[in-house]
Structure 1
Amino acid sequence: MKLFCFLTLFFTLTLQAQIQINGIVTDSNNKPLPFATITTSENNNTITDVDGKFIFKISSSANTLTVSYIGFQTKTIALLKGKTFYAVALAQQTDDLKEVVVSNENPALTIIKKVIANKSLNDPQKKLNNFEYKTYNKLIVTANPDSIDGRIDSSASYKDLDKKIINIDSSDYKFKEIVTKQHLFQTEKVSQYQFGNHKLKETVLGTKIAGFKQPIYEVLAFNLQSISIYDPKYELFETKYENPIATSAPSSYNYKLLDTVSIRGRDTYMIYFKNKSKRKSSGLEGVLYIDKENFAVAKAVMRIKGVLDISGIHEFEYIPKEKIWFQSNTTFKIVKGKNDDDIRILGGTIQFDGDVEENFEPRKKVASDFTYLISESNSFDIRVNTNNPIKNPSLYIEIKDDAAKKPENFWEAYRKENLDLKSQKTYLLLDSLSVSNRIEKRLGIGRKIINGFYPIGPIDLDLKKIISYNNYEGFRLGLGGITNDRFSKNFRIEGYGAYGTKDGVFKYSVGSGVLLDKYTNTWLNGYYTDDVREIASTVFAVDKRVFKIYDPRPINISTFYHYTAWKANVQTKIIPKTEAVFELARTYVEPKFDYLFNYNGQLYSHYVMTTAMASIVWAPFSDYMQTPTGRTESDKRFPRFTFQFTQSLPNVLENDFKFSKIDFKTEYEKKYLNGQKTSLLLQAGYATGDVPITHLYNTMPNNLTKETVIQRITFAGRNSFETMFFNEFFSSQYVFFQIKHGFDRIKIMKKVRPSLVLVTRMAYGHMENPEQHVGPDYKTLDKGFFESGIELNKIFKGFGLGGFYRYGPNQLLKFEDNIAVKISYVLDLGL
């Protein structure tokens, strides 16, 4: 998916194809007319885009084009042999047409309300109990060579009027030469879609990606556009917008009746819609073709025009027996938009043209500006009410083991038309280029770096283990890693070693695992660890590993306990929509601070804990993808829930205490169309029995015990209390709630666009049997703890600043002691 995003950011507004005619429709003042209807003499039709431009495939027998637009005189022009561009100017009718008013309401709005009222009768996923169909998709990233200048430019530098250096710029020439012979990227896919029990599943039967022997699974899971035109949120390029036929859409969109046209022999209304917001990226714009009889969508054109100019077209065929329009073809296009901001991706900078404004000088277009992406899907073998069983219905996408190994006759059977010479050369040349430049290998390395590993032969080096810092160990220097598929696909060995420059102690861990089932990613693992851990910290075993170049909060931690542990666990995704860890462990614990645990009158300075633990994360709204290498979460959605239960095992392997712990976490995120985002986090824990303070709860403090605000300035954590001092509170039961609301980035200057985030956190807690904990002084959270703050992230080069204030029952006497100022850093890889 990362490579895919990278490729699609080299686009332009100009789209042409060698076998198509194209042109523009304007009024008498040369202003473009968006969504004008163009019909050939053979009764095939299309519409112009928001810029009045059109691209249209025609047969050799077509001899005329008829252009119509409401309020303008219809014009018919002759098609001339060899001519590919047509500029059509329409004259406005002398008797200016006004919108017809029906019952004092816009007729387009009246029609849209009927579309909304009849959705359950026209949406195949609502009307039909089950259906299935197959789809052939072809996606290319390419450019029209005729649009590229392709000259070899030269420039000279002078010193003392003498020519010193001649610089030759042949990049445009080379680019034109490449795209004349081949596309820049090309992929094909054949899928079977099955719908039943209100779920739609895609099974990828075949996939072919130029330059790659193994498919890039992220590309296959990438959501270019919504499959159903009736979804409440319509999706374009993994961004969701309010659908113009959603129940609440009339309050967000303006509608206009443009024309009436015939589609598949049925009369339809042609309705233009546009979001009421003045912001270009706030909503969709386009045209809906509405069946006059049943008010179903017979065709749809959806478009967003901004930094990228993105459009999605849905075409349908009518099934008389079911009296329903069923999707037959979709087309997705991305071309480069106009914007005066630079976009950074993967460490590089791609500059986009800005709109022409005062004191703004657009740069010269280069060859890569003329690149575009187009994806076309053709549906066939449509069957309704088949009652065929769906295997693994909880999966959103399943990729067959042999999908990347299909012979050429498989593709010939499914392609709508044979590959042209340029497409054939694309496979040959990109496959050869990929091998010579080791592209597939480099992409694999990039994937692992994102997750915090660097492959060296059969071992992936763990980048998180190389260096870190905390107040107890000082600089922690180490080396760690895990074996990869070059070592074995079914067995792995992992481990690390680390040395603290402050405590002078060596720590290490060794472990191994065996794969029990690759489809459910089920592993049986065993570990031995001798290390230190922050006291009273909550660790969910199923939390995904997050790689950061630095982890800010541990820098300030000074209170740890030493532990040596034997562990055996099973990791699995066998339960649908979940990931789970089941673990048995024997752990020897020794607090590295002044602490004794009073158990039945006996004081323990160290102890043994033998425990059984079950940890599970459930994401009921996420989409999961099954690949030949395992199961992954292809589309992370909220809310998601994490449960963890830990139980000590009395009289097993010298266990000292009897206790139980229940931990729970739920996360929710909502992204808004205007770029804002709200995040909610609810976390709670309940420990009962005889639990030492090392294994209770500290609710994530992140404030240093220093005299002044300036001395306490440090890096902010992610979900931590920035005004709570380390070791200030401990609890055996607690509940924590956090709400964050991030606004769209504020443009102060061209290079300064901070992100404003408002944060509020609160926690309540209680300590049972406080007399058992001898040594540290601490408070309890019976009255609650509250803080709020403002973050200005990514002010400059990823650095930001935040301010937080502590209030409520645990507010401190000195005003300045309730204030915390923190530095934030966000590493933006453009991923």
Structure 2
Amino acid sequence: MKLFCLLTLFFTLTIQAQFQINGIVNDSKNKPLPFATITTSDNNNTITDVDGKFVLHSLTNIPSFTVSYVGFTTKTITVLNNKKFYSVLLSEKTDNLKEVVIANENPALAILRKVIANKNNNNPQKKLNNFEYKTYNKLIVTANPDSIDGRIDSSAAYKDFNKKEINIDSSDYKFKEIITKQHLFQTEKVSQYQFANNKLKETILGSKMAGFKQPIYEIIAFNLQSISIYDTKYELFETKHESPISNNALADYSYKLLDTVAIKGRNTYMIYFKNKKRRSNRLEGVLYIDQENFAVAKAVMRIKGVLDISGIHEFEYVPSEKLWFQSNTTFKIVKGKNDEDIKILGGTIQFDADAEEDYEPRKKVASDFTYVLSESNNFDIHYNNNPSVKNPALYIEIKDDASKQPETFWNKYRKDSLDLKGQKTYQLLDSLSISKRIEKRLGSGRKIINGYFPIGPVDLDLKKIISYNNYEGFRLGIGGITNDRFSKGFRIEGYTAYGTKDGVVKYSLGGGALLDKNTNTWINGYYTDDIREIASTVFAVDKRVFKIYDPRPINISTFYHYTTWKTNLQTKIIPKTEAVLELSRNYVEPKFDYLFNLNGKLYSSYIMTTAMLSIVWAPFSDFMQTPTGRNESDKRFPRFTFQYTQSLPNVLGNDFTFGKIDFKTEYEKNYLNGQKTSLLLQGGYAMGDVPITHLYNTAPNNLTKETVIQRITFAGRNSFETMYFNEFFSSQYIMFQVKHGFDRIRLLRKVRPSLVLVTRMAWGNMDHPEQQVGPTYKTLNKGFFESGIELNKIYKGIGLGGFYRYGPNQLMRFEDNIAVKISYVLDLGL
């Protein structure tokens, strides 16, 4: 069943409330009014959610309540005995939301200026030296059964005049029956937050996830909304927005003073804000500003676009500190207006596209009523108590026993006891998970995504089974690595392969031992006999990228053979980094017409003994410590990779003295509307006596053929599509790539390609060209430039791209500057 998330603002209910009123506020066209203010005669107040609904609680009887909304006439409703639901219609004012101007200035702007000026005095992370508190969080995927029709629809199909076939559609009925008894998904966690030395750390003391004995750490660590309302960039569902109270906010937002209301016995201004930019995912909401100290006493943040996303921050006033400190947060998601299927939370939840205008609107299905709700309640708060924070560089730490906490632990921390529906959710999903082996299948799916297929104690390497290149022909092989069923502290890995064209067997064998689980520190050793593309750049810390096929090597014909003994140390001991320190001895033999000239001596093969340090640094990412090791919980950009290689003279027969510095910087930004921007800056500098096998070719991917049609091949990942193989070599180079992918566009009903614009450029130089004997090549002193358009996923994942080469290295014939490429994007649905 496809899950849709319906996003609503939802307030935490107090267990002491004895009187409750439910209702909905609409305009004269019967459209819901979000953020409408509901105020009782005793100054108890709330606001409507994104669907215009509200729930009002009181310890005493409620004789009446007032409904107000900016731009609409205020209405007072008398509460009747035995009536619990009220549908309120507000009429729009004729002045059409004219600004109230005092002394030639919008009063809301004057208030916001004071809010911004007093931020440091009101921000707990600025005013307090340190603090700590605990939080209970509950996240559910569920639906309101009352909103589902639950009828069994029937349709008739006539085969002939005498026979009648009846098709029964009972999906809504079945869904309502399920959702009445249980939620679709549920997870709970108890965390301790500690702030000291300008860093905030979360330690998860307990975690519980329906259907899983071992929780999915990515969901536990998922950042739905900013913890602090005072962050310069406010984050809502992994998208950062300029905060409405940032220093530059007045230029980006418009504000309206709606009302003055009392919160926790203190008077506040109620101010509506909205980003001025005309885009679908702009931030809007309501701020409640303390009239005395201009602190935020409550905040409602909302994005309405392809997804409707809302977050509420509630605060308690602390007289001893003269500070509003956050007490509760609520987060919800609902499907917005979208023309394309949207997947969130790693594909766990999907929003089906709306029907296109040319076709009849689709019938609502049961999953249209599903939504995600996350609520957090803070307690046990201490101020300036100098908490002891271990490993402060970690954003999240999950205790080893967090998933093993008994029911007495949860009963201690839950604000309300788990209701029958919540209890049923755990029972039914745990039972379903066991019967369907969901946890085991999920573990296997994770490995398959990374290119491994588990078979008992061994994970089979899917990348080693088959590939093709112009030198080996079809490369057939088998490989794998032992998994936790073999040992958690030791591993053995290897592969063997055979080329049908060169007729040579290649292989590798190695193993490793775990030195420290917390920092994922391993010591490894390998022996390898294989081939590699000449002048290619490999970063030792790069994450493994698995594809069913690797398109670029198909047309490569120039390789070198190498046999290597190496040992390395892999570790994440340095905060926000992953590093590899390696020592290796390599015997290298070029498999093409080539000699290296060193002081008059010609080498057709050589020995290279090297030390290498490779490190990737992600300063803006958040990392979590789990019972299985340290992981990057929130991957953010930019990220930087640095690698230094140095030959070791007179060690184990080393022939050459040289050093190499390689680096790259990556940036990516994903948008909720399906667009994506990515930047790549990469370069390298080789010093000393370096043969062409270990220089730079800047990833060419074009065949030396006469016509454009003959040169059609598969596109690479970050390769120069109009640069011919072995056309350029460099001892120093720098390249820059920018890509922007748009949301899928409709050409025909079933033809909806993804449009991507690409531009690449590179510059380079070759020191001591006289040392490279044999190949004919050019240098990149004047630069290389290409731009193109990709239409990916035109049909069944297959797409086309066109690229054009221009600038100083443009070729004489126009058609030689054009490259047409085939792309293939495999959507695994995850």
1-side partners of 2:311 and 2:634: how far apart?
A: 20
Q: Distance in 1 between matches of 2:326 and 2:396?
A: 19
2:798–2:825 contact (8 Å) kept in structure 1: yes
Q: Point out the more displaced range, 166-175 or 666-675.
A: 666-675
Q: What are the within-5 Å matches in structure 2 for residues 491-640 of structure 1?
A: 491-640=490-639
Within 5 Å, which residues of 2 pair with 1:694-705? 694-705=693-704
Instruction: Please give the per-residue CA displacement for 1:501-525, whole angstroms capped at 9, x wherever unaligned.
Output: 2222221111111111110000111
* CA displacement at 1:152 relative to structure 2: 3.6
Deviation, 1:829, is 3.9
Question: C-alpha displacement at 1:614, in angstroms?
Answer: 1.0
Residues 239-638 of structure 1: pairs in structure 2 closer than 5 A: 239-281=239-281, 283-343=282-342, 352=352, 354=354, 359-638=358-637
CA contact under 8 A between 2:647 and 2:656: conserved in structure 1? Answer: yes
Moved more, 692-701 or 61-70: 61-70
Distance 2:692 2:711 in 1: 26
Distance 1:60 1:763, change over 3 A: same
Residue in 2 aligned with 1:654?
653
Cα distance, 1:771–1:55 mapped onto 2, change above 3 Å? same
TM-score for both structures, normalised by structure 2: 0.93
- Alignment partner of 1:230 is 2:225: no
Give per-residue Cα distances to partners, 1:667-719, cap 9 Å, x unaligned. 23345687654433222222222222111111111111111122212222222
Equivalent pair of 1:753/1:794 in contact (CA under 8 Å): yes
Shift, 1:191, TM fit: 0.5
CA-to-partner distance for each residue in 1:403-429, whole Å, 9 max, x for gaps? Answer: 111111111111111111111121122
1:810 shift after superposition: 2.3
Matched letter for residue 669 of structure 1: E
What SS does the aligned partner of 2:250 have?
Answer: helix
Q: State whether residues 12 and 370 of structure 1, in contact with CA within 8 Å, keep that contact through their aligned partners in structure 2.
A: no
Is the contact between residue 240 and residue 673 of structure 1 (CA under 8 Å) also seen in structure 2? no
Give CA-to-partner distance per residue, 1:161-205, whole Å, 9 cap, x none: 343755443333322222222111111111111112222111101
* Count, aligned residues: 824
User: How much does 1:310 deviate?
Assistant: 1.7
Measure the CA separation in 1 of the matches of 2:599 and 2:560.
22
C-alpha spacing 1:358/1:9, structure 2 compared with 1 (3 Å): closer
Q: Which one-letter code corresponds to 1:607 in the other structure? A: Y
Secondary structure of the structure 2 residue equivalent to 1:442:
helix
2:808 matches 1:809:
yes
Residues 156-167 of structure 1: matches in 2 within 5 Å? Answer: 157-163=157-163, 166-167=166-167
CA contact under 8 A between 1:241 and 1:673: conserved in structure 2? no
Question: What displacement does 1:467 show?
Answer: 1.7
Comparing 618-627 and 684-693, the one that deviates more: 684-693
1:401 Cα deviation (Å)?
0.6
Counterpart of 2:129 in structure 1 is 129
Q: Which residue of 1 aligns with 2:107?
A: 107
Q: Compared with structure 1, are the counterparts of its residues 405 and 658 closer, same or farther at alpha carbon in structure 2 (3 Å cutoff)?
A: same
Q: Secondary structure at the match of 1:586?
A: strand
How far apart are the structure 2 equivalents of 1:629 and 1:297? 40
Q: After superposing the two structures, state which structure 1 stretch, 428-437 or 10-19, moved more.
A: 10-19
Is residue 200 from structure 1 mapped to residue 195 from structure 2 by the alignment? no
CA–CA distance in structure 2, aligned partners of residues 506 and 613 of structure 1 = 28
Letter of the 1:280 counterpart: S
Is the Cα contact below 8 Å between 2:511 and 2:525 reproduced in 1? Answer: yes
Quick one: structure 1 residues 305 and 96, their matched pair in 2 at CA, closer, same or farther if it must change by over 3 Å? closer
* Aligned-residue offset at 1:644: 1.1
- Relative to structure 1, the CA distance from residue 562 to residue 86 in structure 2 (aligned partners, 3 Å threshold; closer, same or farther) is same
Q: TM-score, normalised by structure 1?
A: 0.93
The corresponding residue for 2:87 is 87
Q: Tell me if the contact between 1:532 and 1:563 (Cα under 8 Å) persists in the aligned partners.
A: yes
Equivalent-residue separation in structure 2 for 1:9 and 1:351 (angstroms): 5
Measure the CA separation in 1 of the matches of 2:341 and 2:679.
31
Deviation per CA, 1:492-543, whole angstroms, max 9, x where unpaired?
Answer: 1111122222222221111111111110000111111111100010101001
CA distance in 1, matches of 2:495, 2:154: 55
1:685: which partner in 2?
Answer: 684
> Quick one: distance in 1 between partners of 2:27 and 2:36?
11
2:363 is paired with a residue whose SS is coil
Cα separation, 2, equivalents of 1:69 and 1:295: 23
Give the partner amino acid of 1:522.
T
Contact 1:661–1:685, Cα closer than 8 Å, also in 2: yes
Shift of 1:263: 0.5
- Residues in 2 aligned to 1:675 and 1:103: alpha-carbon distance in whole angstroms: 45
Residues of 2 paired with 1:172 and 1:70: CA distance? 37
Counterpart CA distance in 2 for 1:93 and 1:9 is: 35
Deviation at 1:278, TM superposition (A): 3.8
CA distance in 2 between partners of 1:248 and 1:354 (Å): 36
Counterpart residue number, 2:16: none
Q: Distance in 1 between matches of 2:794 and 2:502?
A: 36
1:733 CA drift (Å): 2.0
- What is the Cα deviation at residue 601 of structure 1? 2.8
Structure 1 348/555 Cα, relative in aligned 2: closer, same or farther at 3 Å? Answer: farther
1:784 paired residue number: 783
Amino acid at match of 1:684: G
1: CA distance, partners of 2:70 / 2:11: 27
- 1:155 CA displacement: 4.4
The worse-fitting range, judged by mean Cα deviation, of 705-714 and 798-807 is 798-807
Contact 1:13-1:336 within 8 A present in 2 as well: no
Please, which moves more after superposition, 176-185 or 517-526? 176-185
Residues in 1 aligned to 2:443 and 2:240: alpha-carbon distance in whole angstroms = 29
Deviation of 1:33 after TM superposition, in Å, equals 3.9
Match for residue 757 of structure 1? 756
CA-CA distance at 1:474 after TM superposition: 1.6
Give, in whole Å, the separation in 2 of the partners of 1:403 and 1:607: 54
SS in 1 for 2:431: helix
Where do residues 208-227 of structure 1 align in structure 2 (5 Å cutoff)?
208-227=208-227
Q: Do the aligned partners of residues 423 and 358 (structure 1) sit closer, same or farther apart at CA in structure 2, a change above 3 Å counting? A: closer
- Is the 2:334–2:372 Cα contact (8 Å) retained in structure 1? yes
1:121 to 1:558, Cα distance in 2 relative to 1, 3 A: same
Q: Which residue of 2 aligns with 1:173?
A: 173
Cα gap change, 1:607 to 1:90, in 2 (>3 Å): closer
What CA distance in whole angstroms lies between the structure 2 residues aligned with 1:447 and 1:565?
A: 31
Per mean C-alpha deviation after superposition, the further-off stretch among 578-587 and 333-342 is: 333-342
User: CA 1:717 to 1:98, structure 2 compared with 1: closer, same or farther past 3 Å?
Assistant: closer
Residue 210 (structure 1) shift: 1.0
Q: After superposing the two structures, state which structure 1 stretch, 385-394 or 339-348, moved more.
A: 339-348
Which residue of structure 2 lines up, in the alignment, with residue 730 of structure 1?
729
Matched to 1:181, the amino acid is: K
Deviations along 1:346-382, one digit per CA (max 9) or x if unpaired, are 9999664648x96553222222222121111001122
Corresponding letter in the other structure for 1:85: F
Change (3 A) 1:806 1:43: same
One-letter amino acid matched to 2:4: L
Distance between the aligned counterparts of 1:702 and 1:385, measured in 2?
60
Residue number in structure 2 paired with 1:24: 24
Q: Which residue of 2 aligns with 1:9?
A: 4
C-alpha separation between the residues in 1 aligned to 2:524 and 2:449?
A: 24
Q: Percent identity?
A: 79
Unaligned stretches of 5+ residues in structure 1: 1-5
- Give CA-to-partner distance per residue, 1:460-480, whole Å, 9 cap, x none: 111211222111112222221
Change (3 A) 1:488 1:125: same
Q: What residue is the counterpart of 1:717 in the other structure?
A: 716
Confirm or deny: 8 A CA contact 1:16 1:22 kept in the other structure: no
What SS is found at the alignment partner of 1:436? helix
Q: Aligned with 2:25: secondary structure?
A: strand
1:95-146 deviation digits (Å, cap 9, x = unpaired) = 9995321232222233223222322222222222222111110111112222
Structure 1 pair 596–311 and aligned structure 2 pair: CA distance change class (3 A): same
1:298 deviation in Å? 0.9
Residue of structure 2 equivalent to 1:3: none
Any conservation in 2 of the 1:665–1:681 contact (CA below 8 Å)?
yes
Give the secondary structure class of the aligned counterpart of 1:782: coil
